[in-house]
A = this chain, B = another copy of it.
């Protein structure tokens, strides 16, 4: 993916030397880091202060809220929390795949549910119900190997552009959240992604974009079979849903993959999809942090609300920190230039 900001895989001798010096003077390095602003794209205010206070408290050895490193688990929703969701990127991928199918077989153009996708006709799509949606997923996400699917995702991310903003989707990650991920990792946190999106979709870009390795990505999944196809054993994507990692499915997915309760959870306002995992993190004894991103920035991103306002209500009741994109963020999208 040429447009992703690449982190070097191997270090030059010079970088290796600098790293070695960092090991020799760990205290000095840490003192410098403490002076620099770890969240430069966040405006000073109650949310930024609460983030820094929390991290300081749980990393203070001997303090009442100290957390051993193995308990420092942070979980982030993806769509609308780490990158934009208008449109949902996996939805754009699905439409792109339908386009490719239609080019191969033009008769699909007049058949539902493909016609509805091509015409962006949500009502017609909804009329088809779950059966139509499953047919779409089967045609675009299943009946292929894991490798084939991820190659398709890679190709899509390389070539697709956001319909309004005109840039690759991977340039539409939120800079303040990338800084927050890094800040947490610098303080011994493991950072995880837990999204309603497909686990195998996100794993294609999570490491380069977020610094989150595939093993720390949790998402919805199709059933997979390991079986012989064309003379070799492959992981085959079946056209059947295995796990839906949304709403009450999120604490389930988190437990299956992490096996330990997260202490820091971040989600966003739109569908109420993150309420359950945000609330779940408040059940643990000891410190925890809940962050809810509110999309109130029509000028720099989009302004949209939840129909029933459930996420903001839960935030008020639970004492979660609510991020106003408009007020709390100096910049919205990734600022690092992509490599040529």
Q: Which residues of A contact B (CB under 8 A)?
A: 9-10, 20, 23-24, 26, 61, 68, 70, 146, 190, 199-200, 203, 207, 213-217, 221, 224-227, 232-233, 235, 248-252, 255-260, 276, 279-280, 283
Per the bound structure, the CA–CA distance linking A252 and B238 in Å amounts to 12
The answer to whether B215 and A257 have CB atoms under 8 Å apart is yes
Residue of B199, B227, B249, B259 near A215 (CB, 8 A) is B259
The answer to whether A259 and B199 have CB atoms under 8 Å apart is yes
Residue of B23, B200, B224 near A24 (CB, 8 A) is B23
The answer to whether B235 and A255 have CB atoms under 8 Å apart is yes
| Nearest Cβ on chain B to A185's Cβ, whole angstroms | 15
Per the bound structure, the CA–CA distance linking A221 and B207 in Å amounts to 27
The answer to whether B225 and A252 have CB atoms under 8 Å apart is yes
Quick one: given A24-B23, A24-B24, A283-B233, are A203 and B252 in contact (CB under 8 Å)? no
Contacts of A251 in B (CB 8 A): 226, 233, 235
Given contacts A214-B259, A225-B252, A226-B252, 9 further A-B contacts (CB under 8 A): A23-B24, A70-B207, A70-B213, A146-B255, A214-B258, A215-B215, A225-B248, A226-B280, A233-B251
Contacts of A232 in B (CB 8 A): 283
